[in-house]
Structure 1
């Protein structure tokens, strides 16, 4: 039984790590490639938040992780619908 649970657990972890990478959209920091300026003082692995209004009028919140080479990796994005009064 333990062996079966270990196999299921391992399969679940593999599924989590093989998720499709997010692609930048217009307004994302990395939409036209990596930014020219590098975040020199923040340590690798640090999160960077970014908020912007998309072309569709929705407010987007993105999270990036600073990589060891100082580039940014987009790891999360969610949209918030702005209520219209």
Structure 2
């Protein structure tokens, strides 16, 4: 019985690992003001960047919060926002 449970847990873990490391099938996050893709895809197609590579972009949103987005270059050379993080606003850290 324990072996069956261990096998099932292992199968779930392996399936989740391959799902995360594979391609992103969703539409990603919706662009917000400050995103590279806000208002459409950039005109340049990032021709020299490898497909599937990722890069960060940090900006300040309309409320003054610092935002970091992670983009992945798709096979058609468009950008997909796959992660968005809001950094904490620390009033005492600003001059």
Normalising by structure 2, we get a TM-score of 0.70
Could you list the structure 1 runs, at least 4 aligned residues long, displaced by more than 2 angstroms after superposition: 15-21
Give 2:8's aligned residue: 5
Q: Is 1:38–2:45 an aligned residue pair? A: yes
Q: CA RMSD in A?
A: 3.0
Normalising by structure 1, we get a TM-score of 0.77
Distance 1:41 1:74, change over 3 A: same
Structure with bigger helix share is 2
Give 1:73's aligned residue: 80
Structure with bigger strand share is 1
Q: Is the 8 A contact 2:72 2:82 kept in 1?
A: yes
Q: Give structure 2 stretches of 5+ with no counterpart.
A: none
Q: Give structure 1 stretches of 5+ with no counterpart.
A: none
Larger radius of gyration, structure 1 or 2? 2
**1:27-72 deviation line (CA, Å, top 9, x unaligned):** 1111111111111111101102100000011000000000111100
